[in-house]
Structure 1
Amino acid sequence: MINFEEEIAKFQPSLEVDQAEEAIYNNDLTDATDIIKEILKEKKDLK
């Protein structure tokens, strides 16, 4: 059975849209585009 008191104690409300947007944009993650740009830059610098 679900222990509602325990579940309520663990509950964390989700971020508001503005807070979530800020958290996402402030996350400096490397993606595939960044990797490809770096590879192309290195290849161009070798020439």
Structure 2
Amino acid sequence: MINFDEEIAKFQPSLEVEQAEDVIQNNDLADITDLIKSMIKELKDK
């Protein structure tokens, strides 16, 4: 049987995951709310 406490103690996240987190958190991408606001603004301006 797997001893989860031992496995968690041995766990070390891969560098790739940590690097991906940094890129995702520091990236200023437009989310769906930003896109909808932009579309509404364009429609109002017409």
TM-score category (smaller protein): 0.3 to 0.5
User: Quick check: which one's helix share is greater?
Assistant: 2
> Which TM-score applies when normalising by structure 1?
0.45
